[in-house]
């Protein structure tokens, strides 16, 4: 193999056939450098060579010996191709078998000395290895007799193939350019990129691969923080419309409300009004627990913007939630001198009057509605604003990390009558975010936290239902609550029955069962994500207007749905949801002044569930978020696929020290070299990183 570079295409290498290339390219692996960055997910320790006489059932082991006997052919019963070898050393003999692999039968021969690594098992004939790794004893250890890296397989491309190729490539690559400046590596005691790749693919011991993973974790978090700080710097140097709170001040508006805002709400409102008054665009995250009053905070920002003569867009993740926001704001601002519009694919209202899409789009373009509520599709469908000065995104984390950046970019580039200025940007999430995730994922945003609940909200009592007797008592309680005119949610993970998940109830089947067998005297409704928006809205309206006693629903009710009369919730197969999501569901009840109850029904075999017990003990979203992070990792908040972030970054998001160090180093570097002109390799690596996680 000639000397290669990290830019060499895999298609130029003889080992990479077309079928393999196509599978790898789908996962973004097209060059030698890409393949070297395909990192092991774990290791198996086969470094000690054992005598055959010392083998023990269930243990991982490596032996070295001679092939004494070899046979190959199809099994009598199942007609599966089977290769069987007997390997012996000075202390004894042991069998090894491989299923369906003709290549092994063609490469092994009697008398050949090999090393063999695998887990020892046993059958009626004695000890054996099933489908172990092997190689000639004369070869440098690659698949046996060392710490063996186990790679994520891609489309049937095996871990063995990755090991074989990567070991070869590490020897043949001329240079491996290192984008991280040497002074940073020295300061943090991190290895060079070449050494890190050798340590992670060919570790001599555990210390080496751990040091390598530390280097790669830093690299990815460093790049992420560089991107976040670049975005922040772009906002800090951009121009926005300063919005003053002098026309009917917010304090006067708040004093007219029939309830008293919490101190946390007042702090957040003051933070936002201060940001809006500046000539630089606000870029703030409003992080609050379920029911903590984020809508009022956002409403005050939109009101100040409208009264200053500019437009505000409020974007929700679903049409149901967008309509609910519109109804809330229309009532809240009924006496204000501006119009609130609703624009989604299904709903179009200018004030309280329905409108065609064309007429509403024209009204927005000439500046008639000052507050426009819709889904994020508003920014994708060519809607032209007259003078958009504020964008509020509710539950944006459901769109993923890259979507927030894309939303900001679209909002900044809109044809909105303010060509030289960027809209102020307020992000809201009802999933309380632990500090490490807030710093890592939202490092470019200022942060306001709502950590108080409005007065009068009673804590929701949560219980795990552990058996059929508990279930019967819960059903009796639901009938009792219905007799008092109160309502119940029943939450399920699936819409329809699944053969693959036979123990998981479906929404459609459960609604029918409850309607016919359990509550024939009650009115049972059904809502799920496959229903059309108007069908969902009609079901929600009936529930809101107390025309339905029990509403069976999937995760479509996770966020925002406000039914003050609902006092009971059942969550079926609760073990299939994360804590943060369960807390979101639970927040749909207890929104009135009556005591509310949530009953968690785990699936079969999941009765003792530590996560569910956490919900029994705590009603604080921030405590629950920390517990979810500790139990399940960052995927509980931002799934790896959704975020686009590499696995090592996801694994290390809980490492606050790493996030802080990466942020500090990124900040210092950008202070010294704001455009990275003096760090060309790092500039190029950042560009590739942005493409990989789709931040463009």
- Give me the CATH number covering residue 66: 2.40.50.140
Query: Hey, CA dihedral for 218, 223, 228, 233, is it positive or negative?
Result: positive
pLDDT of residue 451: 80
Is 346 within 8 Å of 379 (Cβ atoms)?
no
CA distance 450 to 266: 10
Mean pLDDT of 98-119: 91
Q: What is the pLDDT of residue 500?
A: 41
Looking at mean pLDDT, say which of 14-23, 71-80, 404-413, 439-448 comes out highest.
14-23
Residue 68 lies in a domain: yes
Q: What is the pLDDT, as a whole number, of residue 654? A: 67
Q: Which of 422, 450, 478 is the last residue of a domain?
A: 450
Mean pLDDT for the stretch of residues 349-354: 92
Task: Name the average pLDDT for the chain.
Answer: 86
Give residue 174's pLDDT: 86
Q: Would residue 483 count as lying in a domain? A: yes
The β-bridge relationship of strands 487-491 and 566-572 is: parallel
Residue 152 lies in a domain: no
Interval 401-421: pLDDT, tens: 455 555 666 666 666 667 778
At 407 the pLDDT is 61
pLDDT digits over 635-654, tens only?
555 544 445 556 676 677 66
For the chain, give the percent of residues with pLDDT over 70: 88
Q: Give yes or no: residues 445 and 521 share one domain.
A: no
Verify that 88 and 119 share a domain, yes or no.
yes
Asked if residue 476 has pLDDT above 80, the reply is yes
Q: Is 383 in contact with 417 (CB distance < 8 Å)?
A: no
Bridge partner residues of 67 (DSSP): 87
- pLDDT confidence bin for 536, thresholds 50/70/90: confident
Q: In this structure, are 414 and 560 located in the same domain?
A: no
Residue 182 maps to a domain: no
Could you identify the residue written with the tokens 């693959």?
500
Based on the domain organization, do 502 and 412 belong to the same domain? no
pLDDT at 546 over 50: yes
d(CA 120, CA 661): 44
**Token pair belonging to 92:** 């004894």
Q: How far apart are CA 687 and CA 696, in angstroms?
A: 9
Domain-terminating residue out of 402, 423, 450? 450
Report if pTM > 0.85: no
Is residue 33 predicted with pLDDT exceeding 50? Answer: yes
* 661: in domain: no
398 and 266 together in one domain = yes
Burial class (CB in 10 A: 0-12, 13-18, 19+), 298: buried
Mean pLDDT lowest for which of 118-127, 171-180, 396-405, 478-487?
Answer: 396-405
Domain assignment present for residue 694? The answer is no
* Domain count within the chain: 3
Instruction: Quick: pLDDT tens for 243-258.
Output: 998 878 999 999 999 8
Residues 411 and 359 in one domain: yes
Q: Do 494 and 445 sit in the same domain of this protein?
A: no
Q: What is the dihedral of CA 342, 344, 345, 350, to 10 degrees?
A: 10
Residue 266: alpha-carbon gap to chain centroid: 31
For residue 282, the domain's CATH number is 3.40.50.300
Residue 147 makes CB contacts below 8 A (sequence gap 6+) with: 43, 44, 45, 46, 47, 203, 204, 205, 206, 209
Per-residue model confidence (pLDDT) at position 608: 53
Q: Do 482 and 442 share a structural domain? A: no
The pLDDT score that the predictor gives to residue 404 is 57
Residues 596 and 477 in one domain: yes
- Across 134-155, average pLDDT: 92
- The DSSP code for 50 is P
Same domain, 307 and 406: yes
**Which segment of 89-93, 497-501, 549-553 scores lowest on mean pLDDT?**
497-501
Which of 416, 450, 484 terminates a domain? The answer is: 450
DSSP at 595: -
Sequential DSSP letters for 82-128: EEEEEEEETTEEEEEEEES-HHHHHH--TT-EEEEEEEEEEETTEEE
- 573 Rama sector, left if φ>0, alpha if ψ -120 to 50, beta otherwise: left
Question: Do 527 and 611 lie in a common domain?
Answer: yes
3-state per-residue secondary structure call for 363-420: HHHCCCEEEEEEEHHHHCCCCCCCCEEEEEEECHHHHCHHHHHHHHHHHHCCCCCCCC
Has residue 437 been placed in a domain?
yes
pLDDT at 636: 54
- pLDDT given for residue 166 in this prediction: 95
Q: Which domain holds residue 391?
A: 249-450
pLDDT of the residue at 645: 58
Q: Which of the residue ranges 195-204, 281-290, 466-475, 565-574 would you say has the lowest mean pLDDT? A: 281-290
Helix and strand counts by DSSP (H, E) for the chain: 24, 23
Same-domain status, 426 and 493? no
Alpha helices in 598-676 (DSSP H): 610-617, 621-632, 640-643, 647-652, 656-672
Structure tokens at 38: 């395909």
**Is residue 208 a part of any domain in this protein?**
no
């Amino acid at each position: 193999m000639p000397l290669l570079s990290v830019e060499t295409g895999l298609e130029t290498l003889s080992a990479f056939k077309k079928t393999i290339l196509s599978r790898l390219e789908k996962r973004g692996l097209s060059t030698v450098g890409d393949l070297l960055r395909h990192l092991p997910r774990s290791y198996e320790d086969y470094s000690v060579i054992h005598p055959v006489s010392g083998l023990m059932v269930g243990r991982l082991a490596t032996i070295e010996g001679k092939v004494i006997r070899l046979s190959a052919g199809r099994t009598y019963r199942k007609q599966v191709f089977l290769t069987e070898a007997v390997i012996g050393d000075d202390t004894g003999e042991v069998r090894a078998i491989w299923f369906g692999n003709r290549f092994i039968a063609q490469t092994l021969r009697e008398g050949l000395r090999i090393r063999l690594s695998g887990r020892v098992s046993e059958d009626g004939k004695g000890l054996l290895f099933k489908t172990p790794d092997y190689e000639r004893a004369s070869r440098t250890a690659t698949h046996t007799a060392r710490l063996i890296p186990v790679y994520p397989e891609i489309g049937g491309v095996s871990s063995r193939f990755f090991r074989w190729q990567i070991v070869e490539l590490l020897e043949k690559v001329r240079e491996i350019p290192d984008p991280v400046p040497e002074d940073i590596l020295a300061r943090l005691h991190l290895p060079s990129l070449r050494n890190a790749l050798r340590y992670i693919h060919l570790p001599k011991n555990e210390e080496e691969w751990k040091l390598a993973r530390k280097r790669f974790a830093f690299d990815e978090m460093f790049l992420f923080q560089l991107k976040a700080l670049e975005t922040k710097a772009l906002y800090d140097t951009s121009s926005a419309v300063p919005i003053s709170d002098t026309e009917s001040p917010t304090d006067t508006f708040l004093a007219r409300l029939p309830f008293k805002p919490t101190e946390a709400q007042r702090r957040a409102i003051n933070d936002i009004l201060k940001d809006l008054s500046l000539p630089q665009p606000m870029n703030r995250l409003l992080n609050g627990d379920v029911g903590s009053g984020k809508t009022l905070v956002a409403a005050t920002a939109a009101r100040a913007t409208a009264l200053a003569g500019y437009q505000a867009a409020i974007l929700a993740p679903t049409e149901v939630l967008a309509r609910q926001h519109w109804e809330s704001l229309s009532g809240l601002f009924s006496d204000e001198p501006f119009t609130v519009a609703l624009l989604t694919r299904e709903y179009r209202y200018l004030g309280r009057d329905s409108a065609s899409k064309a007429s509403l789009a024209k009204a927005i373009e000439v500046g008639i509605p000052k507050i426009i509520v819709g889904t994020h599709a508003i920014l994708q469908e060519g809607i032209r604003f007259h003078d958009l000065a504020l964008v509020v995104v509710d539950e944006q984390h459901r769109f993923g990390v890259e979507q927030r950046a894309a939303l900001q970019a679209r909002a900044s580039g809109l044809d909105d009558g303010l060509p030289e200025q960027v809209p102020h940007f307020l992000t809201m999430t009802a999933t309380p975010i632990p500090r490490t995730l807030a710093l890592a994922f939202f490092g470019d945003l200022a942060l306001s936290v709502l950590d108080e609940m409005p007065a009068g909200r009673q804590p929701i009592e949560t219980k795990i239902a552990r058996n059929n007797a508990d279930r019967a008592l819960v059903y009796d309680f639901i009938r009792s609550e219905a007799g008092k005119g109160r309502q119940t949610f029943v939450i399920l993970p699936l819409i329809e029955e699944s053969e693959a998940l036979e123990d998981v109830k479906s929404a459609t089947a459960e609604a029918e069962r409850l309607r016919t067998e359990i509550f024939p005297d009650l009115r049972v409704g059904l809502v799920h994500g496959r229903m059309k928006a108007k069908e969902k809205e009609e079901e929600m309206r009936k529930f809101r207007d107390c025309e339905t006693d029990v509403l069976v629903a999937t995760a479509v009710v996770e966020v925002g749905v406000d039914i003050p009369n609902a006092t009971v919730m059942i969550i079926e197969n609760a073990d299939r949801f994360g804590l943060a999501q369960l807390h979101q569901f639970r927040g749909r009840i207890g929104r009135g002044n009556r005591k509310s109850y949530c009953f968690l029904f785990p699936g079969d075999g999941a009765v003792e569930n530590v996560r569910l017990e956490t919900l029994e003990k705590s009603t604080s979203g921030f405590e629950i978020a920390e517990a979810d992070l500790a139990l399940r990792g960052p995927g509980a908040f931002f799934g790896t696929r959704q975020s686009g972030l590499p696995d090592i970054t996801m694994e290390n998001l809980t490492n606050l020290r790493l996030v802080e160090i990466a942020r500090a180093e990124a900040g210092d570097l950008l202070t010294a070299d704001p455009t990275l002109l003096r760090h060309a390799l790092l500039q190029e690596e950042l560009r590739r990183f942005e493409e990989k996680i789709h931040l463009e």
